[in-house]
Amino acid sequence: MPDIPARSDRPRPSGRLRPLCLAAGLALSQALPVAAQAPPFGDTAGTVFDIIRADDPTQFVCLEAAGRGARQIWDKRVNGEPIVEAHLFHARYADGTSIEMAINPEFDSAAARAQALRFATALGRLPTTLRRGIRRFGVHAGRQGFHAGTGGIIVYTGTADHREGYAHLEESLFHEAVHASWDAEHRLSPGWIAAQEADGRFLTDYARSRPDREDLAETALFAFAILYHPERFPPVDTRQTLEAVPHRIAYLRDLLPPEIPVTVPVGPPRGCAKGR
C-alpha cells in the first residue's frame, strides 16, 4: 500500500504507516471541484474519538509548589487579562520538560493543587515535542472554551469536566498544545500553505472558518491518531481524513515521525521531590 505523499520541499520520510488506502484518496481530492468537497468533520472538540486515553502512561513525575505570585492570565469570562495572585506550581516530567501551573485564586489551596495535578497528569500524555513548547498553563473556573497562544494554554475547569465526560480532555489539550508549541513556526509557513493548496479542502468546518489560525491545530490530532494509534481511529474516518488532507498529513508526519516514541524519557528531572 502507498505511503503518505512526501512533502514537496523535502525527500520522502523513511518508514511506513500501517496499510492505508492513500492513492484513492489523493486521486479523489484532485478530481472533485474544491467547492463540492465539504469538510468531513465539524471540529476536533466535538468528535468522540478517544485517541489519548486516561489510562495511557503519563510522563508526569511530580508537582512542586511555588507559593503565590502575580500572574497576568487572559480570562474569557471578563474579556480581559487581569493580574491575579495565582497559586503556582511547577509540573515536572520524565522527559525533562516542565510547565508552570498558575491556578486562579478563586480556588483555595487544596483545590488549586488538585486542579494542578489533574492537568499536569493529562499533559504528561502528550508527545514530548508538544509539551516542550508549553511554558505556562493557567486554570480558571467556568465553562469557557480553552484557548492558547505561543508558549501558553488557559483552561476552564467546568469545560474540562464536560470534556472528561466524553473522554476528550487530553484531545482538547493536544489541540491547544499545537497552538502553544507549533503555531509560531508552522501555521503560516510556506510548507504548510503549500500543503493546504495541494489538498484544496479542509478536514473540519472549524479549520475552514479560520484557516490561518485553526487549520494546523485541527488537523494535527487526526494525524497523531493515524500515525500513532490507528487502532483507535475508525477505518472509515481514517479513509476520510486521508482523502481530504493527504498533503497536510504528510507535513505533520515530519513533526510526529512514528519511528520516534511519542515521549522521550530522560529520567526524573532536577528539583523534583519524591512522589507527587
What residues are paired with 138 via a beta bridge? Answer: 102, 154
Per-residue confidence (pLDDT) for residue 266, from 0 to 100? 73
Taking residues 161-190, report their average pLDDT: 96
Q: Could you tell me which residues come within 8 angstroms of residue 17 by beta carbon, excluding any fewer than 6 positions away?
A: 3, 4, 226, 227, 230, 258
Say if 121 falls within a structural domain. Answer: yes
Per-residue confidence (pLDDT) for residue 260, from 0 to 100? 84
Q: Are residues 74 and 102 in the same domain?
A: yes
Q: Are residues 161 and 204 in the same domain?
A: no
Residue numbers of the domain that contains 214:
22-51+187-255
Under the banding of pLDDT at 50, 70 and 90, the label for residue 269 is low
Per-residue confidence (pLDDT) for residue 32, from 0 to 100? 40
Average pLDDT score, the chain: 87
Q: Are residues 32 and 118 in the same domain?
A: no
Q: Are residues 160 and 230 in the same domain?
A: no
Of the residues 149, 181, 213, the one at which a domain ends = 181
Taking residues 104-115, report their average pLDDT: 98
Q: At what angle do helices 169-181 and 109-123 cross, to 10 degrees?
A: 80
For residue 250, give the C-alpha cell.
504528510
Q: Are residues 170 and 103 in the same domain?
A: yes
For residue 74, give the C-alpha cell.
487572559
Say if 215 falls within a structural domain. Answer: yes
Total domains present in the chain:
2
Q: How far apart are CA 116 and CA 234, in angstroms?
A: 33
Whether residue 251 is predicted with pLDDT greater than 80 in this model: the reply is yes
- Containing H/E element for 64? strand 60-72
> 170 with 54: CB under 8 angstroms?
yes
Say if 272 falls within a structural domain. Answer: no
pLDDT in tens, 39-90: 999 998 888 789 999 999 999 999 999 999 999 999 999 999 999 999 999 9
